[in-house]
């Protein structure tokens, strides 16, 4: 695809957003301090139109669970009707930004689509809490959810997807068998920043750039940390066998596209069942546009159905083998 073809392929929805940011002189994440970047994201969320067609849920509860570095805030979303199990969700934001409120709309839609309890986790953020603290929080939340009883799926977007994959690798290596599946939205799987999609898209500043990702990595992993470790770069895990069945959603116009594809290939080659969805004309973070863009709505609906099916299959296996019932 030529540069002109790539630019022409951008959905008008995202072209309008990117043009508006440019006209307003909105800075890029890598040009800001972490505090200013968070304030800019909060301002964007506050100015965004109210979400449309949000599903009615039975219950939304804020709570805290214990963690190795102190209490971890969570938000629990229970759909109407029966609950198949649990989906632990880790938000996006480059390990620096985001939280329960940023992820709220997506978690509401996911709970309704999957028919399960979605548990959103406000893990600690870098640079105040660099690696391994966000991962420690994520793994503590996984351990807490697993102790409640399977079935359990873990899900996340971008940096949250990185935490999902890292947790799955750690859980496998430590003998935790509770994870029925993992859903990854445009996950960070490698720290190299040198793939074909970085070269094709990374300097366009289409909501996420190579410089932004380098900045996020620098906040999360200060000098002296080996970024090739599979808890940081899951693509580099020595053996991908026996990781949970996986669904991955990727955006065609995303610098992270190729590392997501490579991770899907790595899992498949190791015998892990993988469902891959690759959507054209959209950028990094496109699942947040569910309810606005048809492609985003369809992608999140498919993710919910995959989680529902995965939890149902796990619950059936538990019943047949005499294991514990759902959450």
Q: Alpha-carbon distance 157 to 2, whole Å? A: 28
Sign of dihedral through CA atoms 212, 125, 221, 39? positive
Task: Give the burial string for 186-201 (b: 16+ CB within 10 Å, else e).
Answer: bbbbbbebebebbebb
Which of 134, 263, 114 is CA-nearest to residue 187? 263
Task: Work out the number of other CB atoms within 10 angstroms of the CB of residue 319.
Answer: 12
Q: How far apart are CA 22 and CA 36, in angstroms?
A: 18
Torsion over CA of 149, 150, 156 and 159, rounded to 10 degrees? 60
CA 324 – CA 148 distance, rounded (Å):
10
Residue 158 falls in the annotated catalytic set: yes
Catalytic site residue from 209, 212, 233, 284: 284
Instruction: Using alpha carbons only, give the angle 159, 315, 260 rounded to the nearest 5 degrees.
Output: 25
Give the distance from CA 126 to its chain's centroid: 17
User: Which residue is catalytic, options 137, 190, 254, 279?
Assistant: 254
Q: Is 284 a catalytic residue?
A: yes
Annotated catalytic residue within 158, 197, 233, 315: 158
Catalytic residues: 158, 254, 284
């Amino acid at each position: 695809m030529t540069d002109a073809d790539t630019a022409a392929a951008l959905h008008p929805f995202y072209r309008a957003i990117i043009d508006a940011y440019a006209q307003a002189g909105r800075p890029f994440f890598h040009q800001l301090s972490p505090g200013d970047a968070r304030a800019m994201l909060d301002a964007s969320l506050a100015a965004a139109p109210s979400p449309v067609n949000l599903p009615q849920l039975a219950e939304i509860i804020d709570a805290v669970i214990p963690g190795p570095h102190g209490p971890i805030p969570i938000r629990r979303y229970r759909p109407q009707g029966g609950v198949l199990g649990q989906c632990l969700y880790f938000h996006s934001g480059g390990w620096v930004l985001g939280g329960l409120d940023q992820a709220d709309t997506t978690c509401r839609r996911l709970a309704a689509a999957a028919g399960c309890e979605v548990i959103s986790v406000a893990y600690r953020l870098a640079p105040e809490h660099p690696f391994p603290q966000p991962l420690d929080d994520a793994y503590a939340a996984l351990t807490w959810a697993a102790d409640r009883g399977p079935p359990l799926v873990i899900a996340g977007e971008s940096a949250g997807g990185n935490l999902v994959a890292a947790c799955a690798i750690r859980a496998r290596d430590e003998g935790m068998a509770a994870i029925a599946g993992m859903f990854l939205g445009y996950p960070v799987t490698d720290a190299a920043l040198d793939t074909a999609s970085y070269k094709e898209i990374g300097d366009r500043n289409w909501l996420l750039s190579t410089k932004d990702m380098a900045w996020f990595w620098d906040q999360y992993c200060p000098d002296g940390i080996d970024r090739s470790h599979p808890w940081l770069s899951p693509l580099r895990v020595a053996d991908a066998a026996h990781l949970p069945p996986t669904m991955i959603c990727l955006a065609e116009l995303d610098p992270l596209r190729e590392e997501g594809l490579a991770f899907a290939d790595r899992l498949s080659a190791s015998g892990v069942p993988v469902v891959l969805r690759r959507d054209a004309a959209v950028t990094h973070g496109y699942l947040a546009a569910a309810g606005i863009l048809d492609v985003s709505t369809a992608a999140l609906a498919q993710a919910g159905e995959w989680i529902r099916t995965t939890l149902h299959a796990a619950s059936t296996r538990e019943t047949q083998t005499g294991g514990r019932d759902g959450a």
